[in-house]
Amino acid sequence: MHILIIGAAGMVGRKLTERLAKDGALAGKKITKATLHDVIEPTAPAGAPFAVTTLASDFSAPGEAEKLVAGKPDFIFHLAAIVSGEAEQDFDKGYRINLTGSWNLFEAIRQLNMQSGGAYKPRVVFTSSIAVFGAPFPDKIYDEFATTPLTSYGTQKAVGELLLADYTRKGFFDGVGIRLPTICVRPGKPNKAASGFFSNIIREPLAGQEAVLPVSEDVRHWHASPRSAVGFLIHAAEIDGDKVGPRRNLSMPGLSCTVGEQIEALRRVAGDAVVARIKREPDPAIIKIVSGWARDLDPSRALALGFKAETSFDEIIRVHIEDELGGKIA
């Protein structure tokens, strides 16, 4: 059984690859081959019990999607994207990768499906985002709330969702789109993403470093751990499509909490000395951006379909300490 991961070099892509290498199976079937693709060549996971091919290319370039799916992978994880900030700054690049790229991929699969008389019909898991929603929001964004994005990234993801649902309805493939919460705690270095502080204020103090908090403690946001994100992807690959029904795009579960609640969880898990490493430096630009973001969701459909996330921020911090710090706090 053959798996293709597009966007395999990103943080979630790497963690998904490692999980599949550890499990050796997906949806009850043994994995015999994995193709890992990204714009930079992904690293093959150590000790995978299956053959691994790594490839680097621009998947939105003409003919690239066709090459990627030519081997008829049984499962396709489509994680490739230009992130929100870059898609906003570089309009052409964002649309080319996030919209044309995704559409080319869906089209390449459709062509194989038609050539095979419908026999080739892979499960396609598409990572969407809560950025498909745009303020003003209800207190909790419910499953039937309209997608009125306020960024080009959110627009491109919302279009991808519509295409995924229509290609699935027509039987060209079997798609499931998952709207990821903000992933927290992101491992690695602090980055300049406007959302970076949600992770920075946990990761850096736990590693003995100072971190800057640019917003007030009453800012509320929607989080899930990298481990949960991988769990969503696996569950989206394994779930019965008939149970999902025609509405193929699902808001994933997550945890709604304020920055103040994040800090109190850090205090409970790691103590006052760690919390003292958070420096408050309000940044009007970030305050403005974050004020337009989703604060809370009601992901009833995903919960009913068996998707699971953390239920406390303490748990999100513990996942980070276990998965990234070998269980140790600096």
Query: Which amino acids are annotated catalytic?
Result: 153
- Residue 47 or 246 with smaller CB distance to its own copies: 246
Show Cβ contacts of residue 293 under 8 Å, excluding neighbours closer than 6 positions.
130, 135, 195, 221
Residue 105 CB, nearest distance to its own copies (Å)?
Answer: 15
- Residue 148 or 300 with smaller CB distance to its own copies: 148
- Residue 25 or 150 with smaller CB distance to its own copies: 150
- Residue 163 or 317 with smaller CB distance to its own copies: 163
Residue 144 CB, nearest distance to its own copies (Å)?
Answer: 5
Contact call for residues 38 and 48 (beta carbons, < 8 A): no
Show Cβ contacts of residue 31 under 8 Å, excluding neighbours closer than 6 positions.
1, 2, 3, 20, 23, 24, 25, 49, 50
Task: Work out the angle between the directed axes of helices 259-270 and 313-324 (0-180°, nearest 10).
Answer: 50
Do the bridges between strand 220-224 and strand 211-213 make them parallel or antiparallel, or are there none, so unpaired? unpaired
Query: Which two tokens mark 104?
Result: 């080319």
Q: Exposed, middle or buried: residue 127 (CB in 10 Å: 0-12, 13-18, 19+)?
A: buried
Residue 128 CB, nearest distance to its own copies (Å)?
Answer: 13
Cα 133 off chain centre by: 15
Across-strand partners of 249? 177
Residue 189 CB, nearest distance to its own copies (Å)?
Answer: 31
- Residue 168 or 195 with smaller CB distance to its own copies: 168
For residue 202, give the nearest of 43, 82, 80, 310 by alpha carbon: 310
Contact call for residues 152 and 94 (beta carbons, < 8 A): yes
Query: Which two tokens mark 263?
Result: 């800090």
Residue 138 CB, nearest distance to its own copies (Å)?
Answer: 8
- Residue 45 or 154 with smaller CB distance to its own copies: 154
Geometric angle at alpha carbon 184, from 180 and 188, rounded to 5°: 115
Quote the CA–CA distance of 284 and 275 in Å, as a whole number: 23
Query: Which two tokens mark 150?
Result: 């306020």
Matching residue, tokens 């070998």:
326
Which residues would be at the binding site for its own copies (CB under 8 A)? 91, 134, 138, 143-150, 152, 155, 158-159, 162-163, 165-166, 169-170, 246-247
Do the bridges between strand 33-38 and strand 51-56 make them parallel or antiparallel, or are there none, so unpaired? parallel
Residue 221 CB, nearest distance to its own copies (Å)?
Answer: 21
Cα 251 off chain centre by: 11
R_g (Cα) of the chain, nearest Å: 20
- Residue 117 or 327 with smaller CB distance to its own copies: 117
Residue 89 CB, nearest distance to its own copies (Å)?
Answer: 11
